[in-house]
Amino acid sequence: MIRKLHSILGLSALLLVVVLAITGVILSINPTIERSQASVMGTSAITVAELTGNLASRYPQIEQLQRTPSGTLIVFYTDNNQAGADRIDPFTANTIGPYTITPFKTWLKNLHRSYLLDTPGRIAVALGALVMLLLSISGTLMLVNRAGGWRYLFRPIQGSTLSQRLHSQVGRLALIGLLLSAITGLYMSLETFEFIPDHQTTEPAFPDQVDGGEPAAIASLAALKAIPVSELRELVYPYPQDAYDVYSITTQQGMGFIDQSTGQLLAFEPYNSRQKIYEFIYMLHTGEGLWWLALILGLSALTVPLMTWTGIQVWWRRRRAIPRISNNSKAPSADSVILVGSENNSTWGFAENLHNALNSAGYRVHTAAMNKLADTYPQAKRLFILTATYGDGDAPASAKQFLKRLAEVADTPSIPFAVLGFGDRQFPKFCGYAQQIADALEHKGWPALLTTEMIDRQSSQTFARWGEAIGQEIGTPLTLDHTPPQPKTVTLQLAERINYGERVQAPTSVLRFKMADQSQHTGWFQTLFKTSKLPHFEAGDLVGILPPGSAIPRYYSLASASVDGVLEICVRQVQGGLCSNFLHNLNIGETIEAFIQDNPQFRPASGKQPIILIGAGTGLGPLIGFIRNNKSRHPMYLYWGGRNPDSDFLYEQELKTYLSDQRLSGLNTAFSRIPKDSGYVQDKLLTDAEHIRALIQNNAQILVCGGRKMAGGVVTAMNDILAPIELDVTALKAAGRYREDVY
């Protein structure tokens, strides 16, 4: 519901909000410019009497003296019946320059305040401010839900596309500024249309008795001697030759009249509380008088066009991800039911692929959202639930009513079920909602067709393997080959390879690629616009490689950054593996098609805190990349496991170099196939438990890369290590201090 409200508001009021933001950005610069041109320091030591006395000789026909919130002093005068206005120095009363308001500035203010449409425009501006407020609140609530609670609001944004990350990160940074602008703008609009009582203080009544004597020199007036220049807002001079006219004075505290003969304050009306509140809100909205706040508000408003663009991209991608399910049988007649839980609609693509595969195999399939769980499926022989997890183990949008509806199902069906969870391992409760569903169905008495499977970051390979397992259970081979939309590929050429592991029957290669030689492309367009520059990537990002004859990419963690000049991966040859065999059979000079997928959540945190790197086998790839780029020599400790140091000690010489130049602070290795002291990386962790605890207490971050079995063993070992200091892996994950790249 919140997401739908956020999308509707953002799309419907797009132009209103963007125009307000852009004009606000430009106007926010004015207070800083004015402040830079004004003399403010020391004006509290000068009285208005002194200033006006100095002005008397330079401007004999002064009509008015103003001081802006930024401290600029403006004198309005006539000279030979010509009106003029100058900016003046408060200390010398010298002219700084003429004071003018450009037509553009006036036009811009009117555009910001009313879209140049007077009253209808002011109504539209009020609506724009309201929309901005609601967008800020709804966006914050979505971020809180996604993060898993208010205390995790400012932890790193994880598990999303670039546009989603930008939208969330930029919005989070600009939140306070946008809320402040929206609330103050809405308050002023409400007063304009009298929903809030008028703030104006009643002006003091014109004095009944005025001395009427000879006007005294302005520098001698007692009332003006009591007012510092820093308190002045406006001084209006009496009409020339009228002895019974008075000075009108407006200060920071109120308004009054001064007798031009005696110099006495004849009447004074202090500002009421409503006026003080309004002026404070006006200052917060415009930054006039607080130039630094104006810049902050301007920077916040500057994010609105970017968030608008990324928001449209997110909305369009989510909308495009909803497939049109063909041959969707009615629920009462279906023998196979697929229920989908999705937040951004990406899970629907996987559900459609399963739906089509079952349809092609001759099954009658009904696919619907989990919120549409029926009381009964009379013909169903199997139930598939494909669900994402939102935030910290919560239900996604299309599944929020599922558990409630499940509890209301009276009968105990005998339909075997299989749950497939989608999530991101960087979240503490990876696929937490999928596990909740499996537990609830089991508690309800539904039999399991398969154990619950969990897919990390929409892995096509895991989905395909799950399909094979389903096919075996139902007695019909299933080929699932859904691939989420992928970016365009680039052609890379193998430049170098280093082979390991032959002696322990685990062939492993370090492969280094460069951009393919563009001379082989004979088209005029390719020749004219050829490039040899690698796309941007960092160690720990993923490269998707498309093996010949397959539309499903295989992902490998990158062991290099683009600044290294090569794209480097570490690949173990898997028996029957389509992509790993393709890569291992590549000759120098041969090419692959690949694309980069950002993986910013799997990188060392910035700062000087220690980094603990844990991996096994080819999981060393991204870890060596982190060490290689540790130019600042932050404390970095590597725990790594292989099979035999004589055969598959990956990067052995390079690691020794990094130990000597202090890019690597400590190296602990474990080998599982040696006659003496064999073991696994988790054994090394337990052996070094005291040191690891000390590093954790020093705010260390842990990065783990390798197979799922290894990762599970590391979690168990780390929980044992952390128990004495009352921590566990879940707590470290919640704090962003335990990151995994598991395959």
Domain count, the chain: 5
What is residue 394's DSSP assignment?
Answer: B
- Domain identity same for 176 and 247: no
Do 298 and 29 meet the contact criterion of CB atoms below 8 Å apart? yes
Q: Is 683 helix (H, G, I), strand (E, B) or coil?
A: helix
C-beta contacts of 447-452 below 8 A and 24+ residues apart: 447/414, 447/415, 447/416, 447/417, 448/416, 448/417, 448/418, 449/382, 449/383, 449/416, 449/417, 449/418, 449/473, 450/418, 452/418, 452/419, 452/420, 452/421
What amino acid occupies position 654?
E
- The answer to whether residues 575 and 685 belong to one domain is no
Containing domain of residue 676, as a range? 611-742
Q: Do 312 and 173 belong to one domain?
A: yes
Pair 634, 542 in one domain: no
Handedness of CA 550, 555, 560, 563 (dihedral sign): positive
Q: Is residue 229 within 8 Å of 268, Cβ to Cβ?
A: no
Vertex 478, ends 415 and 348: CA angle to 5°?
Answer: 70
Residues, the chain: 743
Dihedral Cα 294, 295, 299, 300, nearest 10 deg: -30
Domain contains 479: no
470 shares a domain with 341: yes
pLDDT at residue 519 in the model? 42
pLDDT band at 321 (very low <50, low <70, confident <90, very high): low
Q: Residues 76, 217: one domain?
A: yes
Of 425, 445, 474, which residue sits at a domain end? Answer: 474
CATH number, domain containing residue 458: 3.40.50.360
- Residue 24 inside a domain? The answer is no
- Six token digits for residue 228: 């510092």
Instruction: Write out the DSSP string of 214-229.
Output: PPPPGGG-HHHHTSBG
Sign of CA dihedral 555, 556, 561, 565: negative
Q: Is residue 581 part of a domain?
A: yes
The CATH number of whichever domain residue 663 belongs to comes to: 3.40.50.80
pLDDT band at 514 (very low <50, low <70, confident <90, very high): very high
Q: 527 pLDDT exceeds 60?
A: no
Residue 189 neighbours by CB under 8 Å, 6+ apart: 122, 125, 126, 129
Using pLDDT thresholds of 50, 70 and 90, give the confidence band for residue 708. confident
556 and 510 co-located in one domain: yes
Q: Is 530 a residue whose pLDDT tops 50? A: no
Shared-domain flag, residues 250 and 220:
yes
| CATH number of the domain bearing residue 565 | 2.40.30.10
Tokens describing residue 699: 């705010």
Give the C-alpha separation, 159 to 165, whole Å.
Answer: 8
- The reply to whether 694 falls in a domain is yes
Report percent pLDDT > 90 for the chain: 61
Both 71 and 217 in a single domain? yes
Query: Do residue 7 and residue 147 come from a single domain?
Result: yes
- Average pLDDT for residues 705-715, to the nearest whole number? 91
Domain assignment present for residue 284? The answer is: no
Q: Is residue 181 over pLDDT 50?
A: yes
DSSP annotation of 47 reads B
Q: Nearest-CA neighbor of 389 among 146, 117, 44?
A: 146
Is 19 part of a structural domain of the chain? Answer: no
Task: Report if residue 22 sits inside a domain.
Answer: no
Do the strands 246-251 and 254-259 form a parallel or antiparallel pair, or are they unpaired?
antiparallel
Over the stretch 49-95, which tens digit does the pLDDT of each residue have? 999 999 998 898 999 999 999 899 999 999 888 899 999 999 988 99
Q: Which of 597, 619, 641 is the last residue of a domain?
A: 597
**Same domain for 255 and 195:** no
The Cα–Cα gap between 487 and 407 comes to 42
In this prediction, residue 433 carries a pLDDT of 92
Question: Residue 506's Cα: distance from chain center in Å?
Answer: 41
**Residue 100 belongs to a domain:** no
Are 501 and 549 in a shared domain? yes
